[in-house]
Amino acid sequence: MERADGPHTLDRWLADSALRDPGKIAIAAGPTEISYRELADRAARLAGVLRARHRPGDRIATLTGNSAEHVVVFFACALARLVLVPLSWRLSAREIALQLAHAEPGLLLVEPDFAELADGALARLPTAPPTAVLGGVDGAGEPPDDLPLADDPLLMIYTSGTAGRPKGVVLSHANCYWTNLSLSMAVPLRPDDVVLSILPQFHVGGWNVQPLLALWVGATVVLERTFDAGRVLRLIAQRRVTTMMGVPANYLFLAQHPDFAATDLTSLRGAVVGGAPMPEPLLHTWHARGVGLVQGYGLTEAAPNVLCLPGEAARQKVGFAGRPYPYVDVALADPATGELHADLREGELLVRGPAVFAGYWRDREATASALRGGWLHTGDLVWRDDDGYYKILDRLDDMFVSGGENVSPSEVENVIYGHPAVAEVAVVGRPDERWGTVGVAYVVPRSGGAVDATGLIDYCKGELARYKVPREIRVVDELPHSAVGKVLRGKLRTAEE
């Protein structure tokens, strides 16, 4: 096992940045600014307190919005060989109780804003963990002498499970180290960068897509509690933000905001988009404003970075997710047989490398299903071109067969996004006696506009094969989204079954 004085643990990152530039602002959260020296000192003190009360490998759960104090807890856990389990404040008390029962944390830290939610969850547990207010753990202690190992678990992120079973993705120090190293080689950050962080810290992207790398290199992180398009546009101009990361919905809402055209975006030298395929018309909108969008693809189990399409390639490879990050291997498997074929052009994407997780917390069955034959099976259908670039076609469980032909909802959505009356769209399959399954498009109109369902279907007929054209257009006020803004097709699909 490699010791912490080797390169593959995160415990030194804050302290090293504090040595280089102690007075530099590490985090700007609203009116509060915290220097690297203060952040590193607070993390070290908290690490000593926590290790006096907990053993290596114990879980420290949190229920909080994005905050500098949460960053202190993350690095305290890194120093103390503890595991941070950030819970989503968007869940119900019942769902949080299920995750607490599964994780069995030694401590739950709660931000006052979510005290009522926490109380509701704890009341459902036969044995509740000790709780404390986030930022209110008193005392002072020296960081422990037993330094972390590369394989020590550091972060446990819950993803959607089946049949009500929580799935905790356990990421080690090494997993987080390697994904940040590969990110730094593909989309580098500099000490003079100002990184806007809008993804929630209960999501892996809230840590491993820019924020942790920014703190490693000594940049400044502008940390937002929640996403508000108007406020984000103001922050880009006022803070002279140089880069940010978001999901397509974030960039869609920014582009649709009335202030978008007039906002000064000249400081924004690039931005990262991931979580779902970016609609081509939206890419062109941002390119027209002079902002290069780095396309990406990843998943929590890969910590999360897998594919990357740098801004300079995005204009030639519109709609692609890119090629593998450094230190990431990918392969394609036949969806029907699971067999790997080197010459396969379309299939399920498989991933391996040092950033891929070792397994789900206390779930051997799910771990064995995800990690087969030495590869992480993503469940995503992709296509590879002659240059080795990959395009995400769809989730295998979102695809449907209509009249014997495979239909990719993402392909249909990409066409509908090109219609000027459409703000947002999601396509799902609906059972049909004649064709087996037909497409239904849920469409949100642009503000102040209206969608003519017949006209939109005619528009699709001019752009798509007949079997891909949605049988029905349903105009809705909004679509269901996940905590990070991804459209939840599964909820729409369930309504059609």
- Residue 431: HSE in the Cβ half-sphere, 13 Å Cα cutoff: 5
Q: For position 160, what pLDDT does the model report? A: 65
> Of 114, 80, 277, whose CA–CA distance to 202 is shortest?
114
Show the low-confidence residues of the chain (pLDDT under 70). 1-6, 141, 160-164, 404, 497
The predicted pLDDT at position 163 comes to 43
DSSP 147: P
84-134 confidence digits (pLDDT tens) = 999 999 888 988 999 999 999 999 999 999 999 999 999 999 999 999 999
Provide the pLDDT for residue 408.
82
| Neighbouring-strand partners of residue 430 | 438
CB of 322 closer than 8 Å to CB of 309: yes
CA–CA distance, 321 with 290 (Å, rounded to integer): 20
> What pLDDT, on a 0 to 100 scale, did the predictor assign at position 5?
46
Residue 195's nearest CA partner among 166, 232, 170 is 232
pLDDT for 497: 64
Question: Residue 3: what pLDDT?
Answer: 46
129-162 in b/e burial notation, b at 16+ Cβ within 10 A?
Answer: bebeebbebeeebebbeebbbbebbbbbbbeebe
